[in-house]
Structure 1
Amino acid sequence: MLIHPWDAARDEHEWRNWLVTHDFGQLAANGVNGGPPMVVPTHFVFDGDREIMLHLARPNPIWAALEANPAVVVSVHDDYAFIPGTWRSDSPDEGVPTSYYATVQLTCRAEIVDDKEAKAEILRRQLAHHQPEGGHGVMAAGEGPYHRMLPGIRGLRLEVAEVRAKFKYDDKKPAEFQEQVAARLAERGLPGDAGARAQQLRRLGLR
């Protein structure tokens, strides 16, 4: 991923604060025997520091790839919008369109979890995050409504080794230009425009 200096996260706090509000992304692993990379969309829990936890069904084909090579990437993106060329130049024929987006890519080492109690702990952490209102009974290895289903899943703990974060919102442009684009995003109101506008204005405020 190309990251220009003006698109980079200002510091670790910026990408961490963004990532803790996101819990769905793509888990990518190297292909087996020269095959293409394997990519699995999945919910996950980030501990805010250096660990990601999730679980997947035992029949998922990614397990063979992880057993062959535990190096993986978790990629998360959001707050994206297409910016027409006509918004970026006074001349309709000269404006270059672009994409606004935020993304965090984490290179991790994967540890497969098969111990029942350890899997139950991952599920407790996930349910506490994704379903904090409760309604999920007792999550334990030997009791509760779900313990018989534990053999059907495998857990994953991902230790974060490297982080690449990008916030692409025309930060190289003058503040007046960015404010004009933000106003147009508010007027257009397509899905994603509000999030992109909020990120652009937030970044502008960090100047």
Structure 2
Amino acid sequence: MYLPRHYQVTDQAVLYDLMRRFSFATLVSVHQGVPFATHLPFLVQEGVISSHLARANPQWTDFDPNQELLVIFQGDHSFISPTWYEKHPSVPTWNYMTVHAYGKPRIVEEPQAVKQLLHELVVQHEQEWDMMQLPPDYLQGMMQGIVAFEIAITRLEGKFKLSQNRSLADQKRVIQALSVSENPSDRAVAAQMRKNLGED
């Protein structure tokens, strides 16, 4: 992605934290010569991300262990009004946090490994329902309708575009405006901006 240096984040702990908090991500590959995307929940572990897609989805048929895929994790984001800036004329923009994970895929076929992956994906979000209590024949039938896979991460790109190109006064005015927003994503962007300025 386009990644000016002042927006670049290389701290792996920060990148993995965003990936885990926003684990519903977009898998991008090339299918029959054109871009193809699927929106999926991911299990994020150090060095590897895992998920599954419908067997009827043709994207998995192009998985090549020698070809990188892209998974986009989109974090908090906010519209930035030019009215918040000190100097005019100015134009609106968008502040956001995102991580691009690149890696090579491997289809997971061993039934016990598939079941374990599904279980870990469920418990990541579900505290009351236990997948393992499903009737075995029903669970097996459901598993036959999916393709589980893992992606060994080859590189991570982090971009936190948070008004770093503006003056300190402008950044503080943006923080002030976002902090009183009713939108939790706006407030989260403000919190990260404060952290960038060493105020948190």
TM-score (norm 1): 0.86
1:187 to 2:180 alignment: yes
Q: Which residue of 2 aligns with 1:151?
A: 144
Q: Is the 8 A contact 1:137 1:145 kept in 2?
A: no
Q: Which residue of 1 aligns with 2:19?
A: 19
Given residue 17 of structure 2, which amino acid in structure 1 is its aligned partner?
Answer: N
Q: Which moved further from structure 2: 2-11 or 94-103?
A: 2-11
Give the CA deviation at 1:192. 2.6
**Among residues 40, 43, 60, which one is paired with 1:42 in the alignment?**
40
Unpaired runs of at least 5, structure 1: none
Give the CA deviation at 1:202. 1.8
Q: Which residue of 2 aligns with 1:29?
A: 29
SS in 1 for 2:9: coil
Given residue 136 of structure 1, which amino acid in structure 2 is its aligned partner?
Answer: D
Q: Is the 8 A contact 2:24 2:42 kept in 1?
A: yes
Q: Which residue of 2 aligns with 1:123?
A: 118
SS in 2 for 1:82: strand
Decide which structure has greater strand share: 2
Identity %: 24
SS in 2 for 1:105: strand
Unpaired runs of at least 5, structure 2: none
Given residue 77 of structure 1, which amino acid in structure 2 is its aligned partner?
Answer: Q
CA distance in 2, matches of 1:144, 1:50: 33
CA distance in 1, matches of 2:143, 2:3: 41
Greater relative contact order, per chain length (Cα 8 Å cut-off, separation 6+): 2
Q: Which residue of 1 aligns with 2:190?
A: 197
CA RMSD of aligned residues (A): 2.4
Count of residue pairs the alignment pairs up: 200
SS in 1 for 2:132: coil
CA distance in 2, matches of 1:3, 1:13: 19
CA distance in 1, matches of 2:72, 2:10: 19
**Among residues 80, 87, 94, which one is paired with 2:77 in the alignment?**
80
Q: 1:31 to 1:145 in 2, by over 3 A?
A: closer
**Among residues 141, 163, 168, which one is paired with 2:161 in the alignment?**
168
1:135 to 2:129 alignment: yes
1:105 to 2:103 alignment: no
SS in 2 for 1:135: coil
Q: 1:203 to 1:139 in 2, by over 3 A?
A: farther
Q: Is the 8 A contact 1:54 1:156 kept in 2?
A: yes
SS in 2 for 1:185: helix
Q: Is the 8 A contact 2:65 2:104 kept in 1?
A: no
Q: Deviation string for 1:107-128 (max 9, x for gaps)?
A: 1101112221121111121112
Give the CA deviation at 1:188. 3.9
Q: 1:146 to 1:70 in 2, by over 3 A?
A: farther
